A and B are shown apart, each in its own frame.
Chain A
Amino acid sequence: LKTYHGSCHCGAVRFIASIDLAQGTLRCNCSICAKLRFWPAIIASSEFSLLSGEEALADYQFLTRRDHHYFCRHCGVHPFGTGTSPRWGAFHAVNVACLDDATPEELAAAPVTWIDGKHDKWNSAPELTGHL
């Protein structure tokens, strides 16, 4: 695990998160991930600390309202989301594009697991992935 510092663009929201990028990241074609081009690493919530900006976070929820899709109300960046799943327990989905001290080399080398959330197939990849 490596401790990364992350933030939204305007800097209102700041966090630290312990992540092993070699453990992989996700890209998904579900309705919200696709429009955001969201690129998260999934970590246990115990590995995440919000340093500032709780008041700047807007919380977008839809359908089952199970997950929290947070974004900064000032700049619109989505630094992380949260949820609870049978597979991961209480998790934070940390947007690796918001990790300020992750190098381009680290991000480019991070493995990606593709998910066909659009068709509710959360354990398989969609046919097309190049647009995600």
Chain B
Amino acid sequence: LPDLTPKVVFAARIDLAQGTLRCNCSICAKLRFWPAIIASSEFSLLSGEDGLADYQFLTRRDHHYFCRHCGVHPFWYRNIAPLGRVSCGEYGVPR
């Protein structure tokens, strides 16, 4: 039988009424990415860190994570402070 165990699992606190994004930039368009932006403090990765691939390009500012097993992009990460203050950041989580 196929292994249906989810590889990447997270919990996130989101007020969808605060809005979501759709963007025509090169990566959002090809993925049809549809995120809600939340503070990193509202996000918990429960399992699957080992299963995440990280795609970066150009400025390499953002981390476009995806599951290396199924190719789904569950969330992305941007550190708002580019000088390494990892305490403030934001995640993009598809609905």
Q: Do A and B bind each other?
A: yes
| A39 and B66 contacting across the interface, CB-CB below 8 Å | no
B22 to chain A, nearest CB (A): 10
Contacts of A37 in B (CB 8 A): 31-34, 94
A-contact bits for B39-82, CB 8 A (1 contact / 0 none) = 00000000000000101010000001010111111000000000
Contacts of B53 in A (CB 8 A): 73, 76
| A98 and B30 contacting across the interface, CB-CB below 8 Å | yes
- Contact A9 B70, CB 8 Å, known A39-B32, A76-B31: no
- Contact A78 B55, CB 8 Å, known A63-B2, A97-B29: no
Q: How far apart sit A43 and B72, CA to CA, in the bound complex (Å)?
A: 23
Query: Which size class do A's interface residues fall under?
Result: 20 to 34
Q: How many A-B residue pairs have CB under 8 A?
A: 64
Contacts of A78 in B (CB 8 A): 71
Task: Specify the chain A residue showing the minimal Cβ separation from B1.
Answer: A63
A2 CB–B CB distance under 8 Å: no
| A10 and B55 contacting across the interface, CB-CB below 8 Å | yes
B95 CB–A CB distance under 8 Å: yes
Chain B: residues with Cβ within 8 Å of the partner, total of: 24
A48 CB–B CB distance under 8 Å: no
A17 CB–B CB distance under 8 Å: no
Q: How far apart sit A98 and B30, CA to CA, in the bound complex (Å)?
A: 5
B26 CB–A CB distance under 8 Å: yes
B-contact bits for A56-80, CB 8 A (1 contact / 0 none) = 0010111101000101011111100
A48 to chain B, nearest CB (A): 18
A119 CB–B CB distance under 8 Å: no
| B32 and A97 contacting across the interface, CB-CB below 8 Å | yes
Contacts of B73 in A (CB 8 A): 76
Q: How far apart sit A111 and B2, CA to CA, in the bound complex (Å)?
A: 35
- B contact residues vs A (CB 8 Å cutoff): 2, 4, 24, 26-27, 29-34, 53, 55, 57, 64, 66, 68-73, 94-95
17 sample A-B contacts, Cβ–Cβ < 8 Å, listed by A number? A9-B30, A9-B31, A36-B71, A38-B32, A39-B32, A60-B69, A60-B70, A63-B2, A69-B70, A71-B70, A73-B53, A75-B57, A75-B64, A76-B71, A78-B71, A97-B29, A98-B30
